[in-house]
Amino acid sequence: MKIDIKGYDIIREISRGPISTAYLGKQLSLNRPVLIKRLNNQWMNETDLMERFRREALICARLKHRNVVDIIDVETHPDNLYLVIEFIDGMDLARFIKEFSPMPFSVILYISREVLNGLAYAHRQGVIHRDIKPSNIMIGRDGIVKIADFGLARTADLPTISAHGEVVGTPAYMSPEQARISNLDERTDIFSLGITFYELAGQPSPFKGQSIVESIQKLLKDVPPPLHELNPEIPEWYSLLISKMLAKKTDDRPASAEAILENEHFLKTPSRSPELAQMIGQMNKESITFENTEISPPVIQSIDLPKSPGKRWLGIATTAVAVLLLGVWWINANQPDQKNGVLPIQDKMTAAAETLNTGADSLMNEPEIQSQPVEQNPEQPTSALAE
């Protein structure tokens, strides 16, 4: 099917997911490459997704910073919904970690500082990302690190799409307050960034279990071992910072990304990293990937969680309800009815229950497919539990 987007040439398809398709394009007016995310045809009249497009565009339009991916254009016509985004010639942090971990601490420190700069800026603009994770952080061949995908972001001045009692985020990277459906502030991004930095330092995600429910159980009760105890190459100050970022209570975490950046080690971090430049030099054109291209799936609704620590088991049960509904969405998105694109509700619930019973690890942490060159349909991530 030929895609016609006024003012842009479609060069090739990059990736295709159940919700959207990403294309490498060229902006004709400025003769520059762009990334185009277009809603798949079967979702074109979905009001919530149209609003999500509009919100992401409005939020990104106010964020102009070296460490934040720029949005160029948006179209919300019911028959042709798309976002035009800054093209990043590089790879996301998830792929970078796979390719280059373990990496020198100087590179870890540089990437950490760059992400913190972008996040601190977003927070100053009143934006909470709510989905910080390695696949939403891009590293360009120019060495610049950028935060991407503000599709789940929240601001005080824009009405939210989600209703009371809805879970938002990716289970392997969400904060305890996200899992409990509590009030969120910028410290929820600090927690998610702590998980991301834990992986950047060469360790697996500390809360990853065999299923979504197990992962959130670990999130709510497990305390990850300090990084310097696992890897003596990691300085103790950085290890203790990550442990503080991963505190279960928001008041025990750093107050803000800005406050973290005041650490003398970040203040002394060079503006460029020669070691990172060497790694980037090892990337050939075939290794460039575009993993951060999928639009967030529909909201997964849950029920209120009690805030009393003594009733934590109820929180786990509620999470299971959210996971069950996640299974409903995932099966609906991947196995549509031939007539109307949806499964009958009874079949949805049965299939979702089967998904929950057999484990849903592939939904918990964005299933990783073997990366391929751009020309060969590279991997396409899917958000796991999202607004």
| Structure token pair of residue 191 | 């927690």
Are residues 180 and 242 located together in one domain of the fold?
yes
153, HSE (Cβ side, Cα atoms, 13 Å): 29
Q: What does each C-alpha distance from 261 to 65, 123, 134, 226, 338 come to in angstroms?
A: 16, 13, 19, 20, 53
- Helix axis angle for 312-334 and 345-357, nearest 10°, is 120
Are residues 101 and 211 located together in one domain of the fold?
yes
State pLDDT tens for residues 360-384: 333 344 333 223 333 333 223 333 3
pLDDT recorded at residue 323 = 46
CA distance 27 to 7: 6
Residue 1 lies inside a defined structural domain of this protein: no
Residue 375 lies inside a defined structural domain of this protein: yes
**For residue 292, what pLDDT band results from cuts at 50, 70 and 90?**
very low
- Say if CB 147 and CB 69 are below 8 A apart: yes
- For residue 132, the SS3 value is coil
Report, as an integer, the average pLDDT of 134-140.
94
pLDDT recorded at residue 2 = 75
CA distance 85 to 73: 7
**For residue 134, what pLDDT band results from cuts at 50, 70 and 90?**
very high
Residue 255, pLDDT > 90, answer yes
CA distance 75 to 82: 5
Report, as an integer, the average pLDDT of 244-272.
94
pLDDT recorded at residue 1 = 65
Are residues 145 and 228 located together in one domain of the fold?
yes
State pTM to two decimals. Answer: 0.74
Residue 226, pLDDT > 90, answer yes
pLDDT recorded at residue 328 = 36
Are residues 82 and 137 located together in one domain of the fold?
no
Q: Pick the residue with more confidence: 148 or 286?
A: 148
pLDDT recorded at residue 373 = 32
| Residues above pLDDT 70, as percent of the chain | 70
CA distance 349 to 176: 26
Residue 126, number of CB atoms within 10 A of its CB: 14
Report, as an integer, the average pLDDT of 14-41.
89
CA distance 162 to 157: 15
Residue 173 lies inside a defined structural domain of this protein: yes
Residue 3 lies inside a defined structural domain of this protein: no
**For residue 229, what pLDDT band results from cuts at 50, 70 and 90?**
very high
Report, as an integer, the average pLDDT of 192-197.
98
Count of structural domains, the chain: 2
Residue 111 lies inside a defined structural domain of this protein: yes
Buried b (16+ CB within 10 A) or exposed e, 26-46: bbeeeeeebbbbbbbeebeee
Q: Name the range with the highest mean pLDDT among 35-44, 119-128, 142-151, 376-385.
A: 119-128
Residue 182, pLDDT > 70, answer yes
Least confident of 85-99, 144-158, 338-352: 338-352
Are residues 247 and 325 located together in one domain of the fold?
yes
Buried b (16+ CB within 10 A) or exposed e, 244-271: ebbbbebeebbebbbebbebeebeebee
Query: Where residue 48 sits, what CATH number does that domain have?
Result: 3.30.200.20
Residue 224, pLDDT > 90, answer yes
Are residues 80 and 95 located together in one domain of the fold?
no
pLDDT recorded at residue 17 = 77
How remote is the C-alpha of 311 from its chain's centroid? 30
Are residues 80 and 159 located together in one domain of the fold?
no
How remote is the C-alpha of 380 from its chain's centroid? 13
- For residue 327, the SS3 value is helix
| Mode of pairing for the β-strands spanning 90-92 and 137-140 | antiparallel
pLDDT recorded at residue 340 = 31
pLDDT recorded at residue 3 = 79
- Structural domain harbouring 294: 89-387
CA distance 43 to 128: 26
Report, as an integer, the average pLDDT of 250-277.
92
User: 313 CB contacts (<8 Å, ≥6 apart)?
Assistant: none
What is the rounded average pLDDT for all residues in the chain?
Answer: 75
- Say if CB 102 and CB 48 are below 8 A apart: no
337 is annotated as an active-site residue = no
Are residues 166 and 250 located together in one domain of the fold?
yes
State pLDDT tens for residues 2-27: 778 889 999 999 888 777 889 999 99
Residue 74, pLDDT > 50, answer yes
Residue 2 lies inside a defined structural domain of this protein: no
pLDDT recorded at residue 75 = 85
Q: What does each C-alpha distance from 319 to 73, 191, 329 come to in angstroms?
A: 37, 19, 15
Residue 210 lies inside a defined structural domain of this protein: yes
**For residue 157, what pLDDT band results from cuts at 50, 70 and 90?**
low
Q: What does each C-alpha distance from 287 to 88, 104, 337, 376 come to in angstroms?
A: 13, 21, 37, 11
Residue 285, pLDDT > 70, answer no
310, HSE (Cβ side, Cα atoms, 13 Å): 0
Choosing from 92, 131, 149, 361, the catalytic residue is: 131
pLDDT recorded at residue 208 = 85
For residue 155, what are the β-bridge partners? 127
Are residues 199 and 333 located together in one domain of the fold?
yes
Q: What does each C-alpha distance from 113 to 81, 191, 253, 265, 286 come to in angstroms?
A: 35, 16, 17, 10, 28
Residue 123 lies inside a defined structural domain of this protein: yes
The last residue of a domain, from among 41, 65, 86: 86
Query: Where residue 379 sits, what CATH number does that domain have?
Result: 1.10.510.10
Residue 31, pLDDT > 80, answer yes
| Residues above pLDDT 90, as percent of the chain | 42
**For residue 318, what pLDDT band results from cuts at 50, 70 and 90?**
very low
Are residues 28 and 165 located together in one domain of the fold?
no
Are residues 209 and 168 located together in one domain of the fold?
yes
Are residues 284 and 369 located together in one domain of the fold?
yes
